[in-house]
Structure 1
Amino acid sequence: MNTASTTSGAAVPTGEIKRLPIVISLMIGAFLALLNETLLGVALTDLMQDLKVSYSTIQWLTTGYMLLIGILVPVTALLIQWFTTRQIFISAMVLFFAGTLIAGLSPSFGVLLVARLVQALGTGLLLPVMMNTILTIYPPEKRGAAMGTIGLVIMFAPAIGPTLAGLILDSLNWRWLFFSVLPLALFSIIFAFIYLRNVSEVTRPKVDIFSILLSTIGFGGIVYGFSSAGDPSVGWSSPLVITCLIAGAIGLILFVLRQVKLTEPVLDMRTFKYPMFSLAVILMVILMMTLFSTLTLLPMFMISGLGLKAFTAGLILLPGGIINGFMSPVTGRLFDRFGPRALVIPGIVIMTITLWMFTRVTTTSEVFVIIILHSVLMIGLSMVIMPAQTTGLNQLPRPLYPHGTAIMNTIQQVAGAVGTALFISIMSSGQTRYLSGVQDPNNPKQLAEAMTAGVHNAFWFAAVLTVLALILSLFMRRSTVPHEQAAKAHV
């Protein structure tokens, strides 16, 4: 193979691409990036003690990480058109490696926060590039299986993160959460340097700085506003939260209006002219809100409601995460064979029933009930997320792939922040309402019951959302783009 094709702006012809090494490179990078997102959660208490900072301060390791990804991901559509696949992926992994190394050596909270932001730069680049590459190297009739394989990594890595972190922290200090990842990150860089090829066409469109500024204010304001609102010590009435949400909403509206007028937009809004893509985006908002919120609510219920330790709660959620990961390749192949409706509709039905059953869980429920319900919920999610996402992206012509993947990934970040804040607020209001009606609100038993009541309210709301998703899923159908339609979009 001509080496020039791997380093210049020209993409390698599709017929000459060896897909397996490319997919392996992407999977290793994505696995590390997503594992990193959940590794730190159970270590926050240790970090507070070791670095001598408060809970509100240590939370910036998570909030800052999400905030930077929310700002960066919308711009990836532009970056994918300016740099080759190799350049972006290897640069992202080098940033991730550098951030991880600095984090492990951090002498203070400030340095650790900077390290996490460097990690976020790498992660924010990786996922859109991965999805864009899969769309480019696989024809529509084979994308289900490919996206399903990627889905295994996307769901498996976050699932084992808390458990793996618990095991590391039992015998080593928090720095090893970062040091243990370094060898794999280095291997990923070397592997990608040898095997990864450029598969996208570098067109270098005009860069509109004002659009990037509006995108930063819009998506950054919304992600930060909702993330802050989800913190019980801040709440929705905080002037900072209100200011961020208003600024974010105005910035986002102006950003969208500007993209419609530009001949070379940062994010091309023509993607929403394709009905299956628009439908998939709405479904992803609902699904991501449900997923992120469940991952937040269940540990809180198990710790405060059932009185379990954080590590035990992580172990209880592990089977569902593993099942979800291994279901993704299966649902991907079924998607290629039967289309989206055969998976998405039954999957949402399973989710709705399971979420309703979570409203029946009490402080006396057995642990195995939560394991079963969570596992079934994850099976339902695996039948919906990748098929819905792939259906939406399949309808786009190739020139819109970078924009479609950037929009999908941005929506996931925003929906995660919005969903977590909204569901925690619903849970908190349920707790307050319950405690206002008891004689001794400081009684541990009453506090546990209040947590249960709040979680029930949140799961009821989630079930209602999935009913809405079920109605929308009835309009989903298999989608492909005719060649003449793709040609028009390219003009």
Structure 2
Amino acid sequence: MQQRLSRATVLSIIATGLLSFMGTLVETSLNVTFATLTKQMQVNLATIQWLTTGYLLLTTLTMIASAHLIKRYPVKMLFLIAITCFTLGDLLSAVAPSFPIILLGRLIQAFSTGLSIPLMFHIILTSVPPRRLATYNGMAAMLIALGPALGPTYGGLLTATWSWRIIFWLLLPLIVIVFFLGIFNLKLQPFAKEDRFDFWGFGLLALILFLVDYTFNRAAKVGFLSWNFWGLLLISVLLMVGFYVYNRHSSRHLVDFSIFKNTIVSWHLLGYFLLQFINIGLSFVIPQVAQYILGQNAFVAGMILLPGALLGVVVAPLAGRWMDRLQTPLPIVVGHVIFLIGAALFIIYDQQLTVALLIGFYFLLRLGFNLAFGNTISHASVQVQPKQKADINATFNMTQQYAGSLGTNIFAAIIGVYQLQHINLRISTAQGALTDYWLIAVLAIIGLFAAWISYRQTIQKK
């Protein structure tokens, strides 16, 4: 394969990349508008948060199905479905007179995002030479990580100056540009038209993912010691066991689970999940700390995340280029080390946190994130056969998307439980946030361990 990519391939990556960016941007853009929306839509906070949780969940489920769809159908057809759904969902959300309508619009957009992100990575994994793979995956990871981080700033700014509806109207010109970029350049054809979809497995996994999300959502209302929480958690675990048994005996599978026989892939998947779990979860925690503890408004709370989000524009592609040159996963380990340092600083300076410190610590944490995130899927993808690229693509993208949903839910539940115990929101939020910081640090240590093991195994194979 030639080192120079064709113009059509580059424009195809740009088209699917921009569609993915828009999808991840609107993913979290409403987080800072919930106070406004609860009044306008006349629903409570527990209901309105499904605009984000439901979005993430349906995106995850679509990504699970993407391995089958990419194998069976032309990329251009899938792209047209994705951009049509995104446009329809965008218009419904912009004009929505009630909560059910805006939720419907969000879910239609979520289906689009669940298609566009795997399409982007599929084009990269199948069209980019191995020696440039990490660079392009770094740029792709930059887009899908930048969107959720910029979302609160984007939503907060537009809501404060105009209306939350502008969040959706402003995307229409970019949608038109993306449509023409894709329609004239996407050419990849299906490579396994005989592939059969596992409907039973999909339904069971969808039930598990929804139930786990719902379980932690309930914890924020009834507490972690409630039989309600533990009963739902037990049912979730039993369903997981059932899913494992089903896959052991089924002739159909959502993805090719043999990719996990390679332990490097398994360790990378764990690290990938933890990076996004913390990244998206912390992007929820920091605005709460800024508003409830530091007394800042929604706009300032969103702006705190902006420098760290913009950092990815520079670091992610450079991190990929660095790993392409080294041809080892050392940048992933370095990223996890910096990520852990950033997480630890939130604990050390918990009592002295200011807006400036929040910006600085999040900036450092995002530096580590961007060094490791895109490089992780790049290194995992070169461990499998070409016919398994769609499977690893779907698995990793589904994992990172659900990690964001679960991370938001768990970190929110922890703060919610503390708020149930105290009348003073400032004190209870501070206690919940500190618990979140400790959880983040522990998970960052596990992520670093996973990165180090995969690095050692890679060196031993050479």
- Same fold? TM cut 0.5: yes
Query: Is residue 48 from structure 1 mapped to residue 26 from structure 2 by the alignment?
Result: no
Matched ranges for 1:170-319 at <5 A: 170-226=160-216, 228-229=217-218, 232-236=220-224, 245-319=233-307
Partner residue of 2:442?
A: 464
Is 1:420 matched up with 2:420? no
Name structure 2 gaps, 5 residues minimum: none
Q: Give the deviation of 1:448 after TM superposition.
A: 2.9
Q: CA RMSD in A?
A: 2.6
Contact 2:56–2:402 (8 Å) recurs in 1: no
Q: Percent identity?
A: 27
Task: Tell me the secondary structure at the aligned position of residue 195 of structure 1.
Answer: coil
Structure-1 separation of matches of 2:248 and 2:74: 26
Among candidates 382, 390, 414, match of residue 370 of structure 2:
382
Tell me which amino acid in the other structure corresponds to 1:131. Answer: F
Give, in whole Å, the separation in 2 of the partners of 1:463 and 1:115: 36
For residues 194-241 of structure 1, give each alpha carbon's deviation from its aligned partner in whole angstroms, at most 9, with x where no partner exists.
122225424231233322222222233223333x246x2354466775
Q: Which residue of 2 aligns with 1:352?
A: 340
**TM-score normalised over the length of structure 2:** 0.90
Where does 1:425-464 land on structure 2 (aligned, <5 Å)?
A: 425-427=413-415, 442=423, 447-464=425-442
Q: Given residue 61 of structure 1, which amino acid in structure 2 is its aligned partner?
A: L
1:68 pairs with 2:46:
no
Matches within 5 A, 1:90-101: 90-101=80-91
Equivalent pairs counted in the alignment come to 456
Correspondence for 1:332 = 320
Which structure has the larger Rg over C-alpha atoms?
1
Shift of residue 128, structure 1, vs aligned partner: 1.6
Structure 1: where are the runs of 5+ without partners?
1-13, 436-440, 483-491
| Inter-partner Cα distance in structure 1 for 2:261 and 2:147 | 34
Task: Check the 8 A contact 2:27/2:56 in 1, yes or no.
Answer: no
Q: Does 1:22 align with 2:15?
A: no
CA distance in 2, matches of 1:278, 1:43: 38
**Alpha carbons 1:35, 1:158 under 8 Å: kept:** yes
The answer to whether 1:143 aligns with 2:133 is yes
Matches of 1:82 and 1:234 in 2, distance apart?
Answer: 45
How far did residue 34 of structure 1 move?
0.8
Query: Which has more helix, going by share of residues?
Result: 2
Amino acid in structure 1 at the alignment position of 2:340: T
Give the direction of change, closer, same or farther, for the CA distance of 1:28–1:420 in structure 2 (3 Å limit): closer
Shift of 1:428: 5.2
CA distance in 1, matches of 2:214, 2:416: 20
- Separation in 2, partners of 1:181, 1:244: 39
Contact 1:301–1:455 under 8 Å retained in 2: yes
Q: 2:453 matched to 1:475?
A: yes
Q: Secondary structure at the match of 2:164?
A: coil
Q: Which of 98, 101, 113 pairs up with 1:123?
A: 113
Matched-pair contact (CA < 8 Å) for 2:142–2:374 = no
Q: For CA contacts below 8 A with separation 6 or more, give which structure has more relative contact order.
A: 2
Q: Tell me if 1:370 matches 2:358.
A: yes
Distance 1:70 1:116 in 2: 14
Give the Cα–Cα distance (whole angstroms) in 2 for the partners of residues 431 and 173 of structure 1: 30
Letter in 2 for 1:212: F
TM-score, normalised to structure 1's length?
A: 0.85
